[in-house]
Chain A
Amino acid sequence: MRTLVLTAALALTTALPAAADTIRVGMSGGYFPFTFTRADTLQGFEVDFLNAIAEETGDEVEFVTMSFSGLIGALESNRIDTIANQITITPEREAAFAFTQPYVYDGAQIVTREGNEAGIAGPESLDGKTVAVNLGSNFEQLLRELPNADAIDIRTYESNIEQDTALGRVDAFVMDRVSSAQVIAQSPLPLELAGEPFSEIRNALPFRNDEAGQALRDRVDTAITTLKENGTLAEISQKWLDADVTQPVSQ
């Protein structure tokens, strides 16, 4: 009998965390200026954004940092409730997860080493070039969907693509335009933007696509609407990116 009660209690606690007052937010902690640490303090756009959401909904936020490649698995196995790591909405991800409205609108950007010796001007000039992307990111897929994808040597990295591009090990990396510009402005790495952004991307928070996940998504989505209307989201964007990236680019 006692084990039965224990099992039931265990089943209950593992089934209900999404409805609890603590939102477990997964992030890599390695994506400047969205999530990173300085002197062991986790900070960035995503941290401020999720704290602002929690203030609206009255929930607590628990940040869980792990390697980027572990985030989706952690969400699916109910170890976290959402991922705040500039997750881009894609058809595949939309089929698997319940997304909030987009809170960042951005474009895919090619970045090369300073001097751009390879003369890269856009995705069409990537033929025969080695291009680094983060493992599991949608930029890898964006590249693979290009008409000249077969001619591009795409390298997937767990982390540190900026460093390997600066070292010249790869010709370029592809990341979102906003954080690319930030990396160039704030880091000592010799990098530069190559060409214009080539694809609009919309980033949102994914939740598990079950009843509890959808309920939490609805609650968070309402909070995002409020944060957009009262200007808090734009403020957070200005603080970390010196630009408001929370409105659609193309009208």
Chain B
Amino acid sequence: MRPLDTAYMWDLVPVIASYVPLTLFMAIVAMAAALTLGSALAIVRVLRVPVLDRIVAVFISFFRGTPLLVQLFLFYFGLPQVVPAMTGIDGVTAAIIGLTLHFSAYMAESIRGAILGVDRSQWEAAQSIGMTQGQLLRRIILPQAARTAAPTLMNYFIDMIKSTSLAFTLGVTEMMGAAQKEAAGSFLYLEAFLVVALFYWVIVETLSVGQRRLESSLGKAVAR
């Protein structure tokens, strides 16, 4: 067994670190968009909006039922063959759109579950004092559902951060792409991939601290 080339690993740290902002940018933008889209999809499902409900069901089924990589390739390399103007979409944008669509499908189901988990009496009470459907969702149901859904949604965010590594297949050099290319030049695979793994781990751990804070603030109303 050869010893770990720690000097090489230290040299790699600034290289990989310079790609952290891009990874976070893609994940954060996609997370915000997926949360918005996922919530909308969930509400359509819960309220059983005619016609839209069926379309959303097919959307969720497709984006949950096919791998993210397949969706990214379809979107980035496939569709431009029939819609040439789509070539104008760059790799970063395509990755963000792909992540958004994919994860919004998962989130929609989590949020739907969380909404359905809010006790029926809450709906009835809100209706009895004359709230409109929009008001009761916004003021009564969604805040309670958010607390239930938060841990799962955080899981998806973590998954999303790691899924940005697929962007290299679309020509976006992010953390993983940078590590691949460095490993090709040095043949020190263990070192290169270890460094990038540690980076992902540290990012996710930092987020977990934020998650605990968020959960305790969402739980204030029901704290005993």
Contacts and interface: CB of A to CB of B under 8 A. Distances in A.
Contact of A67 (B80, B168, B185, B188): B168
Interface residues of A, number: 41
A10 B84 CA distance: 10
A223 interface: no
Chain A interface helix/strand/loop/mixed: mixed
**Residue among A73, A78, A159, A183 with most chain B CB within 10 A:** A73
Given A29-B177, A32-B185, A159-B180, A76 B88 contact: no
A40 B18 contact: yes
A183 B85 CA distance: 41
Chain B interface helix/strand/loop/mixed: helix
B85 A66 contact: no
B181 A42 contact: yes
B185 A14 contact: no
B184 A32 contact: yes
Given A40-B178, A70-B170, A14 B186 contact: no
A162 interface: yes
B87 A38 contact: no
Contact of A74 (B171, B181, B186, B188): B171
A29 B173 contact: yes
A64 interface: yes
A53 to B, nearest CB: 21
Interface in B85-104: 85, 87-88, 91
Interface of B: 2, 11, 15, 18, 73, 76-77, 80-81, 84-85, 87-88, 91, 168-173, 177-178, 180-189
13 contacts: A14-B87, A29-B180, A30-B180, A36-B182, A40-B18, A42-B181, A65-B171, A65-B173, A66-B169, A73-B73, A80-B171, A159-B184, A160-B183
